[in-house]
């Protein structure tokens, strides 16, 4: 892996013009260069996270609230670590078991968090569009940690950072023409949508693969090619990104059984041979080993980037928290948005 990440300062507009958004609610709001800006910003945190002392004080004195209206372990932990490594006070609100259950509306919860003077709010919610709804009602930056089937922008960014690190180790960092297959429950996946938006924006050749019942209508309109045959979908691809199949969808309404799913859509060693010889294997986790991905593929030292994805996740979230709080911190050149 190269040791000389590009310097963000030379490639982007000065100051706040580099990222003129209050919130990060979706990749769909970002032109390609703003995506690259966040990736470049994350490089410094990748480096920091690999040192013994992983702490800086850039967000000292700021309060970050992680409001998770839907259960999460990994993403919540990743955001919590990211905030703490930057020196912020991080509070987790497990809204799945809170007053939301008592009938308080989402807007009231948002207003409450706002009144507590959070400096950034990270939100996960089971309904598409819920994060945008809150973002419009609060003063501080809002980061989308997943809203329904809509978007999960930090996941797509960390996936892109993972791919770019891998490409760099192979002597390139150009997404144009990179062949990526995203396979699994595309219909219900916010990870798939954000990745499709990000990768197509950067010029990658994206294929999505799912059984018909789990393929969204008109997905081709998002500039991808759609496959129901997994073998055809991964033919000669550079990256195979597997998605988690939710337990409740495994037997019955959408697909007959876990073993039939593995038979048709599981990533096995044999199947992986159809991809390019160097192909990278990714999975946002948590995995169903032996269902969508076999253990020998998931744990393959050269091919699997699954743990790298987790590592990049912390760096990306640090970058997003840093960039989005610059206006509040009065960083030079980062004036308030009009």
Partner 1 sequence: MKPMAPLTITGGKLLTGSGEPTAGAIRCEGDHITAVGDVAAQDGDRTVDAKGKIVMPGIIDLGVFEIDKPAFHFGGVTRAALMPDQPPPLDYPARVRFAASFGKPDFWVHPIAAATRGLEGNELPELGLMKDAGAKAVSSGRKWITDSGVMLRVLQYAAMLGLPFISHAEDAGIAGGAVATDGETATRLGLASAPAEAEALAVMRDVTLAEMAGAHLHIRQVTTAAALDIVRKAKDRGVRVTCGVTPAHFMLSDIAVNGFLTFARLSPPLRAESDRRAVLAALADGTIDVVASGHDPRGPEDKRLPFADAAPGMAGAETLLPLTLQLVRDGVIDMTRMAQLLCVNPAKILGVPAGRLEAGLEADIAIVDPDRPWIVDSDRMEAQAGNTPFDKQPVQGRALALFKGGMDVKV
73 is in an annotated binding site: no
Contact call for residues 89 and 116 (beta carbons, < 8 A)? no
125 is catalytic: no
Nearer CB in complex with partner 1: 130/138:
130
124 is catalytic: yes
Stretch that binds partner 1, among 14-22, 84-92, 120-128, 198-206 (CB under 8 A): 120-128
Nearer CB in complex with partner 1: 147/205:
147
329 is in an annotated binding site: no
Of 25, 75, 154, 325, catalytic: 75
Of 124, 125, 150, 283, catalytic: 124
Determine the Cα–Cα distance for residues 34 and 25; give it in Å rounded to an integer: 14
> Which of 92, 128, 251, 268 contacts partner 1 by CB under 8 A?
128
Tokens 């990000």 belong to 198
152 is catalytic: yes
State the nearest-atom distance from the C-beta of 162 to partner 1, in Å.
23
Three-state SS for 250? coil
State the nearest-atom distance from the C-beta of 123 to partner 1, in Å.
11
Nearer CB in complex with partner 1: 58/226:
226
Q: Which two tokens stand for residue 29?
A: 């709001």
Told to check if 219 binds partner 1 by CB under 8 A, we report: yes
Told to check if 53 binds partner 1 by CB under 8 A, we report: no
> Which of 222, 258, 276, 310 contacts partner 1 by CB under 8 A?
222
Determine the Cα–Cα distance for residues 159 and 35; give it in Å rounded to an integer: 12
Site string for partner 1, 60-99 (x = CB under 8 A): ----------------------------------------
286 is in an annotated binding site: yes
Nearer CB in complex with partner 1: 63/155:
155
Q: What is the Cα gyration radius of the chain?
A: 20
Closest CA to 45 of 35, 36, 37, 55: 55
Contact call for residues 222 and 196 (beta carbons, < 8 A)? yes
Contact call for residues 120 and 275 (beta carbons, < 8 A)? no
300 is catalytic: no
- Does residue 236 have a cis peptide bond before it, meaning omega lies within 30 degrees of 0? no
State the nearest-atom distance from the C-beta of 143 to partner 1, in Å.
17
Nearer CB in complex with partner 1: 107/116:
107
DSSP 91: E
Look at the chain and count its residues: 338
Told to check if 105 binds partner 1 by CB under 8 A, we report: yes
State the nearest-atom distance from the C-beta of 330 to partner 1, in Å.
31
Three-state SS for 44? helix
Closest CA to 120 of 338, 327, 313: 327
Residues near 66 by beta carbon (within 8 Å), at least 6 away in sequence: 76, 79, 80, 83, 90, 91, 92, 93, 121, 122, 145
Determine the Cα–Cα distance for residues 69 and 23; give it in Å rounded to an integer: 18
Nearer CB in complex with partner 1: 190/326:
190
179 is catalytic: no
Residues in 167-206 that interact with partner 1 by CB under 8 A: 190, 193
Contact call for residues 241 and 208 (beta carbons, < 8 A)? no
Q: Could you tell me what percentage of the chain is helix, strand and coil, using 3-state DSSP and rounding each to the nearest 5?
A: 45, 15, 40
Told to check if 244 binds partner 1 by CB under 8 A, we report: no
- Mark the binding-site residues for L-aspartate, compressed into ranges: 102, 190, 244
| Interface residue list for partner 1 (CB under 8 A) | 28, 105-107, 125, 127-130, 132-133, 147-151, 190, 193, 216-219, 221-222
Report, as residue numbers or ranges, the catalytic residues: 74-75, 102, 124, 152
């Amino acid at each position: 892996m190269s040791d000389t990440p590009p310097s963000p300062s030379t490639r982007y507009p000065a100051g706040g013009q580099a990222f003129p958004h209050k919130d990060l609610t979706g990749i769909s709001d970002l032109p390609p260069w703003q995506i690259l800006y966040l990736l470049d910003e994350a490089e410094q945190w990748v480096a920091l996270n690999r040192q013994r002392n992983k702490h800086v004080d850039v967000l000292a004195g700021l309060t970050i609230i992680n409001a998770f209206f839907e259960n999460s372990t990994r993403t919540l932990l990743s955001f919590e670590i990211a905030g703490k490594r930057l020196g912020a006070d991080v509070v987790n609100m497990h809204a799945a078991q809170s007053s939301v259950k008592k009938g308080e509306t989402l807007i009231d919860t948002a207003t409450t968090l706002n009144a507590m003077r959070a400096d950034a709010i990270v939100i996960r919610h089971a309904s598409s569009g819920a994060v945008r709804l809150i973002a419009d009602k609060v003063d501080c930056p809002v980061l989308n940690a997943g809203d329904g089937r809509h978007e999960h922008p930090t996941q797509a960014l960390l996936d892109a950072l993972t791919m770019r690190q891998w490409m760099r180790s192979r002597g390139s960092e150009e997404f144009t023409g990179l062949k990526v297959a995203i396979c699994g429950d595309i219909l219900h996946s916010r990870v798939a949508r954000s990745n499709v938006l990000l990768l197509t924006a950067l010029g990658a050749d994206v294929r999505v693969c799912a059984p018909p019942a789990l393929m969204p209508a008109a997905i081709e309109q998002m500039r991808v090619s759609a496959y129901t045959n997994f073998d055809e979908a991964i033919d000669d691809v550079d990256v195979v990104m597997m998605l988690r199949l939710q337990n409740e969808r495994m037997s019955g309404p959408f697909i007959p059984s876990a073993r039939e799913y593995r038979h048709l859509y599981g990533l096995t060693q044999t199947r992986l041979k159809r991809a390019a010889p160097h192909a990278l294997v990714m999975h946002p986790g948590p995995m169903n080993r032996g269902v969508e991905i076999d253990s020998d593929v998931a744990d393959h030292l050269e091919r699997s980037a699954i743990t790298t994805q987790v590592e990049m996740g912390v760096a990306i979230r640090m970058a997003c928290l840093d960039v989005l709080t610059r206006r509040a911190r009065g960083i030079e050149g980062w004036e308030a948005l009009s």
